[in-house]
Structure 1
């Protein structure tokens, strides 16, 4: 995952998440699905150069009523209800920063790919009525136990979905992420050695608010079991992450991601 949690995976999360639980199809027996998506995002957190990636995704409700979700490099298992209180473990693969296109940033210390683990807790409300809608809020806490960075990352994400038609749905959401000083030091810091090699000033960031996010998306039901979606995801780096010379001198604090996905629903 890149320094944000794999933005492309987030794209797929938004696209697929709406496909299997659209406001028109609110029930406790949501279908399973699998699919894939393609998206474009920046090469690394705070950078300008872009990459394109393809990732799989799936959702599966076990016989015991528990929910497993896997979107690209992120997976979680919900021990709670399909609506109401939700909680469980979470795993994320965070991609590193190596051999990037920017010749200056490539001289800053490399960041290895690492596995993050932790958990989430959230709540989902599905309204059934003349104008059905679905609201969801979730807090996720993960760490990699010092394998690449020290400390933890805490994310708050909210979403809302509404129908425009029996086959067309729109959604929007917002979020924020707080990180430890060790996280920012790894992904946004510049060591004295890195400063000497790259020409960037040395920078030792602290922790705090790392980013604010917002997104809009649309879903179209092609057939009873097929869905296609598209979305735009915006991130604005905050605090010491935004103040990093990696971002200020070589990149941008405004990060834009967009993607499309196709999903097949099944029982």
Structure 2
């Protein structure tokens, strides 16, 4: 089966941008009411995790918040059930997009993967310009297994209407999730256009990434943003035939810009 879809990769990038803006301008949104940031982002994204072929995409940006309780950030909905001294803990639900094997010729014969829901829990700690967040989620179908992420971010520059932040993220996949995203079964190997050998992937840290976010306040309501994300696959994710097939790469880059309006 394939790795994460374009939409998942983009949502992860936009999530980093939204968190970065919160660190640059912590009082940018009124926490007592419903708020929204809506816009469009455009950038270069790999065809699949492990691909070295990039496509230019335009996708919507969505961040809706109700007080300090509910938040819909891209495809992830969270509820803050507990909060004290900068610490927030609560459940999450995430729409985990599927992908068709037609996304790239390297995937031909491996079969499609459907869209599913992830359910889990998150914990987030903020202090001044620092953010530390972790979440653990499990896909309810499509063989996605368990995924855990650890993110550390900090505002690194702020001058007038311009600011920047840096976020580092580590991701862990269970054996089931690693096999779904990076493994090759005998059946898939036999059907693959690329002639892959079977590959059984084990649980472990799948990738690490560094994300630099820049934002500029055009007006009271409009924000121009940019993102450069440089990631590297690790362990069995890096050793997957989808990465080592001659058309893949463990180095994964996302670069893009976007325009948001907030209400």
Check 1:91–1:50 CA distance in 2 against 1; reply closer, same or farther (3 A cut): farther
Q: Which ranges in structure 2 are unaligned for 5 or more consecutive residues?
A: none
Alignment of 1:89-168 (within 5 A): 89-126=91-128, 134-145=129-140, 147-149=141-143, 151-168=145-162
Aligned-pair CA distance for 1:2: 5.8
TM (norm. structure 1) is 0.85
- In the alignment, what sits opposite 1:58? 63
Aligned-pair CA distance for 1:175: 1.2
> What do the CA deviations read for 1:198-252 (whole angstroms, capped 9, x no partner)?
2111101111111111111111011122211101112211111111111111411
> What do the CA deviations read for 1:91-122 (whole angstroms, capped 9, x no partner)?
22222231334334211233222211111012
Check 1:44–1:104 CA distance in 2 against 1; reply closer, same or farther (3 A cut): closer
What is the distance in 2 between the residues matched to 1:160 and 1:233?
15
Secondary structure in structure 1 of the residue aligned to 2:188:
helix
What is the distance in 1 between the residues matched to 2:64 and 2:32?
10
Total equivalences in the alignment = 255
- Work out whether 1:206 is the aligned partner of 2:182: no
- In the alignment, what sits opposite 2:251? 254
- In the alignment, what sits opposite 2:11? 9
Secondary structure in structure 2 of the residue aligned to 1:204:
coil
What is the distance in 1 between the residues matched to 2:76 and 2:205?
22
What is the distance in 2 between the residues matched to 1:101 and 1:23?
38
Aligned-pair CA distance for 1:10: 2.3
Secondary structure in structure 2 of the residue aligned to 1:6:
helix
TM (norm. structure 2) is 0.87
Aligned-pair CA distance for 1:183: 0.5
Check 1:22–1:33 CA distance in 2 against 1; reply closer, same or farther (3 A cut): farther
> What do the CA deviations read for 1:150-209 (whole angstroms, capped 9, x no partner)?
531110011111443121101101011111111111111111121122211110111111
Contact 2:20 2:166 in 1 (8 A): no
